[in-house]
Homo-oligomer: A and B are copies of this chain.
Amino acid sequence: MIQRVEPPFSRFRDRLDPKVADWVFPYDSASRFDIALLGAPLSKTSISHSAAFRLPDAIRALFHSYSPYSVHHQMDLSERLRVADLGNVQMHLTDLALCQKWIEDAVYSYGETHAQPLVLLGGDHSITGAALLGLTRATKRTYGVIHFDAHHDVRNLEDGGRSNGTPFRTLLDSGAIAGRHVVQIGIRDYVNAKAYHAYVVQEGVTVVTARQVFRTGLAQVLEEAYAHVSKETDGVYVSFDMDVLDQSFVPGVPAPGPGGLTVWDALEALEWLGAKSNVQAVDFVCADPAQDVRDFTTRVATNLLLAFLAGKSLAKGANV
């Protein structure tokens, strides 16, 4: 061979510094794993121009620079948790209803055959509608939902079909989930219509505004929300719209705004939720790498994902 050459796309390696990319492995049906990742790269369904379809691979690209080690917990996630990457749901170029169906089918197919928790990487928020339709169809379970968002996401379906403004309308109207099993956290003023606030109230959804979070503290809000959605349900689905965070933390979200949650609280929240065995799925949506500043929003999403995995690791360790 030629002397001193290495493969393309190599980067500086420190022999003592394994990366998340060395830990997460491609799914195959034979391998055992504890939790799975699935990309749902759909964002042509967004109301505003969005390249959120790039988020799953943008997160994976960052796996090459993150370590699986938590100094805070003195815990190596890679020693506790096997994480399988299922890949991305295939997308049709122009038939967006088919894209929704394929996401639903992929999650259905996963849910039918696997009990391990699932992490979905959007894509825009419409994927949550598809995913929960698939999951409930597969598992026949009743899910509680903790929905982090600045927006209610229950727009009418007549004015544009299943977009990123509609996932919870789709889910509530179809009966896949029940309003009394849903808590929305971080809802902001002046970006939601009165009619949609009225709708969620009427459906029995619990709404916690961003300002209430600031007054009460996210930890307490979350504890109550978790208790609420765990009642009467078989499992909890966490849906995290990145725009729930104050715009100063997430320059790449398509719908930024001030007055949102802080990144410090969100990181604690995801670890806390990860540690609950009841939480069986989480998604991260509505971050657009094409509009980001130096990948800051993708970095936040990746850290939230790792925080969730750390929670799972902590819980697992404790159960041994």
Question: Of A47, A49, A197, A307, which is in contact with the most chain B CB atoms at under 10 Å from its CB?
Answer: A49
Q: Are B209 and A3 in contact (CB under 8 A)?
A: no
Residues of B within 8 A of A257 (CB): 299, 303
A266 to B277, CA, bound (A): 38
Selected interface stretch from A175-183, A224-232, A245-253? A245-253
Q: Are B156 and A89 in contact (CB under 8 A)?
A: no
A74 to chain B, nearest CB (A): 7
Contact indicator per residue, chain A 230-263, by CB within 8 Å of chain B (1) or not (0): 0000000000000000111101000011110001
Q: A259-B267, A299-B257 are in contact. Are A6 and B69 (CB under 8 A)?
A: no
Q: Are A110 and B193 in contact (CB under 8 A)?
A: no
Residues of B within 8 A of A73 (CB): 189
Residues of B within 8 A of A68 (CB): 190
Number of this chain's copies in the complex: 6
Q: Is A136 an interface residue (CB 8 A)?
A: no
Q: Are B5 and A247 in contact (CB under 8 A)?
A: no
CB contact between A26 and one of B7, B109, B251, B256 (< 8 Å): that residue: B7
Residues of B within 8 A of A197 (CB): 69, 71, 74
Q: Are B258 and A249 in contact (CB under 8 A)?
A: yes
- Residues 1-42 (chain A) with a chain B CB within 8 angstroms: 1-10, 12-18, 20, 26-29, 38-39
A88 to B187, CA, bound (A): 33
Q: Are A90 and B259 in contact (CB under 8 A)?
A: no
Q: Are A17 and B193 in contact (CB under 8 A)?
A: yes
Q: Are B4 and A306 in contact (CB under 8 A)?
A: no
Q: Are A160 and B69 in contact (CB under 8 A)?
A: no
Q: A247-B296, A290-B49 are in contact. Are A93 and B159 (CB under 8 A)?
A: yes
A257 to B306, CA, bound (A): 13
Q: A5-B86, A290-B49 are in contact. Are A67 and B190 (CB under 8 A)?
A: yes
Q: Is A141 an interface residue (CB 8 A)?
A: no
Residues of B within 8 A of A291 (CB): 294
Residues of B within 8 A of A70 (CB): 189-190
A73 to B39, CA, bound (A): 37
New A-B pairs, 18, CB < 8 Å, besides A17-B155, A71-B192: A2-B109, A3-B102, A4-B106, A5-B90, A6-B88, A6-B89, A7-B88, A12-B159, A15-B158, A17-B193, A72-B211, A93-B159, A94-B97, A94-B163, A189-B303, A189-B306, A251-B296, A258-B296
CB pairs A–B below 8 angstroms (17 shown): A7-B26, A9-B57, A14-B159, A14-B160, A14-B193, A16-B155, A49-B51, A49-B54, A67-B194, A69-B192, A69-B193, A71-B189, A92-B161, A93-B160, A249-B258, A256-B294, A259-B263
